[in-house]
Amino acid sequence: MLTFSIAVFMLLITPGPGVLSTAGVGAAFGFKAGLRYVFGLFLGTNLVALAVISGLATALFAIPWSRTLLLILSTLYLIYLAAKIAFAGSKISFIQSKIRPGIRAGVLLQAINPKAYVVNTALFSGFAFLPDALITETLVKFLLINAIWIPIHLLWLRGGSLIQELHLPLRKQRIINWIMAVLLLGVVGLALTQL
């Protein structure tokens, strides 16, 4: 169980679309606004876990074109989120982003986030610690994953929101927002190498 918990921590703390967008939302819109987004990510990641456990994800990915479609959708959505973060508070009218990503945005990101499927598949199919009690092991894994997932995402959100709370000059805040957006686009670049 300790090995499983360490694996969960290592897989969740590493930058991926969820934590990077969480930090970006915190930096661009603040902690309170980011809580709704993180709650959406939480719902989404647990829905993905249920899809993996139930076999629904396997059935879906058995369709040859579905992986490519998921990758394209996630890439487009990450570009959209990067733009929202980059242009938060911008005075340029045609790219202004005042609408904060909320619960729906978080759920949607996880639903099309390839890392969410890979991580959940690895965690639920590997690291057997109660091999004679699969249902109990699955429930314990759900509890452990969420017990680690929640504080990690809240820390990333807090880290991002601290940047906003510094009340930096607008120019510096925009630079930070752009850096967060570029990091998200880096994830997009990595995803595109998988096409």
Please report, for the chain, the start and end positions of each structural domain, with discontinuous segments joined by +. 2-192
pLDDT in tens, 179-193: 877 877 776 676 566
The pTM assigned to this predicted structure is 0.79
- Output the CA–CA distances (angstroms, integers) from residue 101 to 8, 69, 75, in the order listed: 26, 23, 17
Per-residue pLDDT, averaged over 154-167, amounts to 88
Contacts of 65 (CB under 8 A, 6+ apart): none
Nearest-angstrom CA–CA distance, 122 and 118:
6
> What Cα–Cα distance (Å) separates residue 105 from each residue in 78, 150, 169?
11, 17, 28
Mapped onto helix, strand or coil, the DSSP state of residue 15 is coil
143 pLDDT more than 90: yes
pLDDT digits (tens, 9 = 90+) for 61-112: 788 888 788 778 877 887 887 787 777 764 433 344 556 788 998 999 898 8
Higher pLDDT, 147 or 57: 147
Gap between the Cα atoms of 6 and 152, Å rounded: 13
